[in-house]
Amino acid sequence: MTERSPLAPAAFPDLPPVAGVTARVSRARYKNWDRCDLTYVELSEGTAVAGVTTQSKCPSPEVEWCRDAIPLGSARALVVNAGNANAFTGHRGRAAVEAIAAKVANHLDCQPSDVFISSTGVIGVPLPVDKAEAGLEAAFAAAPCGWEDAATTIGTTDTYAKGARASAMIGGTRVELVGIIKGSGMIAPDMATMLGYIFTDAAIDPKLLQQMLSAANRTSFSCITVDSDTSTSDTVLAFATGKAGNAPLASMEDAGADAFAAALDDLCRQLAHLVVRDGEGATKFVEIAVEGAESDASAHRIALSIANSPLVKTAIAGEDANWGRVVMAIGKAGEPADRDRLSIRFGATQVASGGLAVEGYDEAPVAAHLKGQDIAIGVDLGLGDGRATVWTCDLTHGYISINADYRS
Amino acid sequence: MTERSPLAPAAFPDLPPVAGVTARVSRARYKNWDRCDLTYVELSEGTAVAGVTTQSKCPSPEVEWCRDAIPLGSARALVVNAGNANAFTGHRGRAAVEAIAAKVANHLDCQPSDVFISSTGVIGVPLPVDKAEAGLEAAFAAAPCGWEDAATTIGTTDTYAKGARASAMIGGTRVELVGIIKGSGMIAPDMATMLGYIFTDAAIDPKLLQQMLSAANRTSFSCITVDSDTSTSDTVLAFATGKAGNAPLASMEDAGADAFAAALDDLCRQLAHLVVRDGEGATKFVEIAVEGAESDASAHRIALSIANSPLVKTAIAGEDANWGRVVMAIGKAGEPADRDRLSIRFGATQVASGGLAVEGYDEAPVAAHLKGQDIAIGVDLGLGDGRATVWTCDLTHGYISINADYRS
């Protein structure tokens, strides 16, 4: 790992074990790395699964595999390969995925479709089946590891291991949720890849879990951007072992379903923020909150237009209260907006309102806010009730260095 | 002006006068610049006008003024202010535009709507009317200037003056077209602004001129991107004085209309390329040609997705044949694409085909191509007949320095 992001938390959090989940790591040696690169997670029988994957039209075979297996609702294992994304590798890439699933299914005596697989790293190089199989053999024989080892092993150019927890009470039973995630680390010529895994001991129907995960995704992973580039491999999976012993959740009307959904939302948002805080070259964590839009969807598109604007991101890197660039990004979003109703704040200070600069606004608190690491930009469109919040980071020389200065 | 872009042409081209067009420049002193910043162009009576403006929902009052005046079809003058974009300035910005139009209309004894106005520079500061009026007085009294002076005066952080020419034969009469343009220079905290002006002595009906300009725009200005950020002020205007004496063009069926449209296309493409070649921090000029898409519009969106991808642009800056990032950008475009039919070339060398890397392709010509200043990326989607070409530049430390390292 390269130098730890300045936005990283002080340490990896203290995460509880999740009953029914056993992780192991090994060295498949996909790259010339002096570290483990294969993560193997065994899940107890009866584990429910849900997932969301990249919208890319050119997904990796791992993504296609997961898309096919998620609707079946059950999982027994997760395999994550780091160092090779296996994307754009044709039938050989697909064959590697099938070989991994078959080997694990044989080991656990389960269906291949119960085995979930992700790969991250260089694209265009088929995942070597021999290395994957040897890595799996080593993982099968390895001692169980802790969450930090698993979170480290799924990483590529991440500068720190990322994990988070949440819990909920379901009818008097406490359930735990733990998540690990990697991204948006990249190294030339690798792709940005975000892979996230959530484990819970809650008993929950996979369809309900999917409904909750899809909802949580809309306000977490779908609300972050480092550089607007969508990977071929993005995947978030949630596994529920049911070992907590709660009365199984099957619909949002069940007691405790709200609490579990809230915990899942919270966990997903924590994980999403950890990814932004490791954005390439990031020195500022930026929250962009849009309200007063014609709809939530419109607010979301406007917020992303601001978050993806290189001019907004470089202004924040330069600690420059350049609200004109925010106006520009709103204007280009193609969404309903009325220049003369717009207001914009940096931190708590209104800088523009009613179509022009707030005359004589106090620049001192704005300058102080922009010197910090956590930046908040607020936009009120003054049109309706639509609102959305997204998170991003600034755009710095560090991003260029990571992605341009080194050759593949 | 800062250091001349490495992609700039060797010198400003030799441009002919256009009968009926007289340019003058003066110092309005909008900023503390030791240079002229107001360009005033007089157009002979009977001049036809057409124009295209930014799609931004938060346009400047100048853009709104031009949008209202263009459909009236006639022009007598153009005023371009450099150093202050007058955008997001409420009623005071609108009043400044009206004051300029009134003053010029009074001077020329014409309608205010015959006066076209653009401003470029810092946003959020109302254009000072007293400076504009004094600048206009000075311009009225100044000696006519050449194209290079006018092209220099409309610039802001442009690193070189940009002009181009074309000509056409209309029924035995030669007509001249000359264009000047500025952009995409920016300086923190200014906005990217592209302003382009085309002058011709051809006689042509304004509706036909508009039809031709809109068509030319679709394959020139709408096909360039430096950083995906759309300005509040982008404007391209075409003025036709009719002084060449050709039989007036009124429809595409008229003799010579095809030739004139082709010359206009050519001129717009030249001007558009000059803007990309002055892209902030640019060291490579990049052509992205997409074919085999389901439609031309789909090809255009995919080409722009590639051209706007920070990962593609940094790979090019790093002279890295990272076709995986091109796949990523195709995949995220949201347009029909089939990973397994895709092929990609750098320069003349096919690097990926049929969903995977071309085995053992010759890397030497690819590396040599990427070391050059003019980069060509070709994509064949293998789905249909849709095609589009767009132009962009690489993303370098220079871009970050220009937009983040300096404070407003």
Give yes or no for a contact between B354 and B343, defined as CB atoms under 8 angstroms apart. Answer: yes
Q: Is pLDDT of B278 > 70?
A: yes
Residue B229 to residue A328, Cβ atoms within 8 A? yes
**How far, CA to CA in Å, does A341 sit from each of A118, A292, A362, B233?**
46, 10, 21, 19
Q: What is the DSSP string of A107-157?
A: HHTS-GGGEEEEEEEESSSPPPHHHHHHHHHHHHHSPPB-HHHHHHHT-SS
A334-344 burial, b if ≥16 CB within 10 A, otherwise e?
ebebebeebbb
Annotated binding site of B for substrate: 156, 182, 193, 280, 403, 408
Q: How far is CA B308 from the centre of its chain?
A: 17
Record: fold of B285-404: Ubiquitin-like (UB roll) (3.10.20)
Give yes or no for a contact between A77 and A42, defined as CB atoms under 8 angstroms apart. Answer: yes
Which one of the listed residues B39, B89, B159, B193 is annotated catalytic? B193
- Distance from A330 to chain B by nearest Cα, in Å? 7
Which one of the listed residues A152, A193, A200, A225 is annotated catalytic? A193
Residue B400 to residue A403, Cβ atoms within 8 A? no
Q: Where are the domains of chain A?
A: 21-276, 285-404
Q: Is pLDDT of B185 > 60?
A: no
As a whole number, mean pLDDT of residues A103-109 equals 98
Structure token pair of residue A173: 């039973």
Phi, psi of B375 (to 5 degrees): -110, 135
pLDDT tens column, A49-83? 988 887 777 788 998 999 999 999 999 999 999 99
In CATH, the architecture of A21-276 is 4-Layer Sandwich (3.60)
Q: Where is mean pLDDT largest: A130-134, A167-171, B284-288?
A: A130-134
Give the Cα separation of A202 and A55 in Å (integer): 28
pLDDT at residue B153, rounded to an integer: 96
A191 interaction partners in chain B (CB closer than 8 Å): 311, 324-325, 328
Give the one of A331, A399, A403 whose C-beta lies nearest to B232's C-beta: A331
pLDDT tens column, B54-102? 777 778 899 899 999 999 999 999 999 999 988 888 888 999 999 999 9
CB pairs under 8 A between A and B: 248
Q: What is the DSSP string of B106-173?
A: HHHTS-GGGEEEEEEEESSSPPPHHHHHHHHHHHHHSPPB-HHHHHHHT-SS-SS-EEEEEEEEETTE
Q: Where is mean pLDDT largest: A155-169, B79-93, B204-218, B370-384?
A: B370-384
Q: Is A103 annotated as a binding residue?
A: no
Give yes or no for a contact between B96 and B127, defined as CB atoms under 8 angstroms apart. Answer: yes
* Lowest-confidence segment of A2-6, A387-391, B113-117, B365-369 by average pLDDT: A2-6
Give the Cα separation of B144 and B155 in Å (integer): 18
Q: Is pLDDT of A186 > 70?
A: no
Indicate which of A54, A56, A58 best probes the interface with B, i.e. most B CBs within 10 Å of its own CB.
Answer: A58
Q: Helices A397-404 and B310-317, interaxial angle, to 10°? A: 70
Structure token pair of residue B180: 């000047």
Give the Cα separation of B99 and B95 in Å (integer): 6
B334 interaction partners in chain A (CB closer than 8 Å): 55, 57
pLDDT tens column, B304-352? 889 988 889 999 999 988 888 898 889 878 888 888 899 999 999 999 9
A327 interaction partners in chain B (CB closer than 8 Å): 58, 87-88, 123-124, 232
ipTM of the complex: 0.77
- At residue B303, what is the residue type? A
Q: A349-353 and A343-346: which strand pairing? A: antiparallel
Residue A56 to residue B405, Cβ atoms within 8 A? no
Other beta carbons within 10 angstroms of residue A76's beta carbon come to 24
pLDDT at residue A348, rounded to an integer: 92
pLDDT at residue A231, rounded to an integer: 63
Give the Cα separation of B93 and B126 in Å (integer): 5
pLDDT at residue B405, rounded to an integer: 65
Q: Is A314 a catalytic residue?
A: no
Average pLDDT across chain B, whole number: 87
Q: What percent of chain B has pLDDT over 70?
A: 92
Residue of A nearest to B186 (CA): A311
pLDDT at residue B219, rounded to an integer: 75
Give the Cα separation of A66 and B50 in Å (integer): 54
Beta strand extents in A316-372 (DSSP E only): 343-346, 349-353, 356-357
Average pLDDT across chain A, whole number: 87
pLDDT at residue A195, rounded to an integer: 75
- Residue A162's beta-bridge partner residues? A181
pLDDT at residue B322, rounded to an integer: 86
Residue A57 to residue B189, Cβ atoms within 8 A? no
pLDDT tens column, B212-252? 888 887 777 776 676 666 666 677 788 899 999 899 999 99
As a whole number, mean pLDDT of residues A163-180 equals 89
Q: Is A408 annotated as a binding residue?
A: yes
**Residue A184 binned pLDDT confidence (cut-offs 50, 70, 90):** low
Residue A58 to residue B339, Cβ atoms within 8 A? yes
**Residue B197 binned pLDDT confidence (cut-offs 50, 70, 90):** confident
Q: Is pLDDT of B131 > 90?
A: yes
